[in-house]
Structure 1
Amino acid sequence: MIEQRRILRTALPGPKSAALAQRRVATVSGAVSGGNDLYIEAAQGAILVDADGNQHIDFGSGIGVASVGHSDPRVVEAVTKQAASYGHTCFMVSPYAGYVELCEELAKRTPGDFEKRSALFNTGAEAVENAVKVARAYTGRQAVIVFDHAYHGRTNLTMAMTAKVQPYKDGFGPFAPEIYRMPMAYAYRWPTGPENCAAEAFAEFASLAHLQVGENHIAAVVVEPIQGEGGFIVPAPGFLKMLREWCTEHGVVLVADEVQSGFCRTGKWFAIEHENVVPDLVTTAKALGGGLPIAAVTGRADIMDSPVFGGLGGTFGGNPLSCAAALAAIETMEVEDLAGRATQIGELLTERLTALAAKYPQIGEIRGRGAMMAIEMVATDGSKAPDAALTKAVVAGCGRRGVLMLSCGSYGNVIRMLPPLVTEMALINDAMDVLDEAFAEAIG
């Protein structure tokens, strides 16, 4: 058992991690990013143990993956049992119960009381790409609408759907066609104020969709209920509902990309439920697998059944080990009420971050839902100019003190917080104390 406590035994990085960092340079592509040189050899709950025995509080969860905590006992037991039985047959060749059982769980958990179908894949990007394929097959149309600040993946199609060039798209074009980008209802930065954001953003969306694309050409609108890499942007209240009504009116498939926000992270099973909106399709990954790679597209049966027989699939999609892990992770989420835990974590984070914002005017906004919270860093002159340099310095300061934080945002000026949903409140408070120290150090 790993004690759920931050412990620093060496300077960071320690000598063993530093040695591994040197070995990395010799063999790993320089194009693969790395947030730090702390090499992990064990993890449990919300604690990461590096090669030198230092214990770090994980506020990244492997970018939202370890929602049930590292080495969740149910996941470990399920994967161990499955690995002792068999590791792979390919569901398209020799099917197995785990795939079917997981699809049954997805039908039960995702929004909507209609008949549903699912298809399983490996990554969030693969799920999003297949959702687009399904929507195009169902509608017979080609155009796809996405939004400013969106992130949907690193495949050719999902790069085209992703807004930010650096580092995701630079030098990798040409990109897939028939992708159209619309304004996001980003309340903090909306020119006429947050109170006007939802209505004006939707009006602009509807006008551009009509004038530049044509409603009868649009297969899907793909939206993150909370934008992840774009800066944890929560669309202004009412915007998602207006999108839902517009899609219904024009026969367009509404796809909720819940890859980062899904599975209890925001205090509900899915973030879109906060707006009482039911999408046609939902894409999931990350927390679904409890640490193993798996993704899914789930939605209306008539839409999911529309591609030709054999049109969906893949060698490793719904791998037996990943299915076992996902079923165990979902069980942990339900039995331990991790949606409720996310709400509690969010309340404490909001309280602590509000106090920090009163102390540091560089925090322009606190936003998010549940255990998916963020702060946006800006200049203190009232201009809201993004402060990416301060963001980087604060994240680095947290890292030197044994708290793993992640930055994000189109302007690189957002610190996001994604602690495992099993994180003890004492650890949350400790991490917030460290964040305070890192701010004080960075500001000088």
Structure 2
Amino acid sequence: MQHPHDTSAGMAAPPLLALYRDVRARSLDYCAPLALEDYGLQAMPETSPPKWHLAHTTWFFETFLLQPFLPGYAPFNTAFRSLFNSYYNSVGQPFSRARRGLLSRPTLDEVHAWRVTVDRAMARLLTTPHPQHTEIRRRLLIGAHHEMQHQELFFTDIQYSLSCNPLRPAYLPLHHTWLAETAAPPLAWQALPGGVYQIGAEAVQTSAFDFAFDNELPRHRTFLEPFEIAARPISNGEWLAFMADGGYHNPELWLADGWAACQAQQWQAPLYWEHSPHTGWQSFTLYGMQPIDPARPVCHISGYEADAFARWASARLPTEQEWETAVSQLPHNSEHAQFIDSGHYHPQPVRASQWFGSVWEWTASSYAPYPGYRPPAGALGEYNGKFMCNQLVLRGGSCVSDRRQLRPSYRNFFYPADRWQYSGLRLARSAAPH
């Protein structure tokens, strides 16, 4: 199927419009390997169908940019205001999240037509002088980064939905070597002294594309005791050792809620792992079923599993303050991190020193507001603040994250029982004061 793109510009686009077009085109490109039947898949309430992701991101730009700022713009379809609203209750009543897979209409062609209409209108908005340019720019950047987030969710959601099919269909054929030639490098530790550190994003913007979500603000001081942090994430090989030592059967390693979830869900291994006497351990990936590679970082684990492993390893999970401080203070090369631009849609073998990409890393920190945090006024204030309850923070980004999103201050958050994300862990441990 050919996906329509707006190519109406006859000259180089202004920077904000170029960013907008690039992000919007990527959503269509990522969907290109799908069959038509895949666009409506929703295997559990926490996931969304690909068609819904395409529609909701379009809804965002129409609702928060075109309707308030482009004179004469009329909504493509007024019914879409509810159908593709995610959780913005101040905008209207959202359609049930768990029932998004029932939306066979509008058709995919209608959603594509809506995207073209909105993209053309956005081009007019971004190329016309406007007295509200600063606010338009702010919302445009939120919308672009919002769509990047949904692109990552597209990958994690379609993987889960395809995994429920007994045929084990692959999103893409495998065109590269899967198994590493060596095991993961030995785990090394980096020590940081105790003291007062600064974390959080800088509020001052030095360029047109500086961006941080409101939950990364304000920048503030935090006091840390001396600690050590592992230089890389935990590997599949190390997780196999945890399993072999009865990690999933020893309640002494688990938090009470974690042990209850482990028993109720009958966890015996990370999500997507399967064992056969003929093939050994395999995992369902975006490339279909593949053997477990001991050198790759473990992923698709819950926060409860990550915490249990840390106890088994005589360590703990880092706090988000420790994680961000380590990334900010210790030498590393983020250009070598694995993000979606690597072309590999599964974590690659771990490096001896690796701080960004491959897998999101669970922390021990509850997702809570920073000192002095205030959610933005209006409907966009619902983006982050209202979810600051009962969730844990993850840091670092994954193999299906966009590199442009990730920075030391970026805070992801999920419930501790969630497993369908590319979530892994890094160890930390307290150090004796000098």
TM-score, length of structure 2 as denominator length: 0.27
Q: Which has the higher strand share?
A: 1
TM-score, length of structure 1 as denominator length: 0.26
Higher relative contact order (CA 8 A, sep 6+): 1
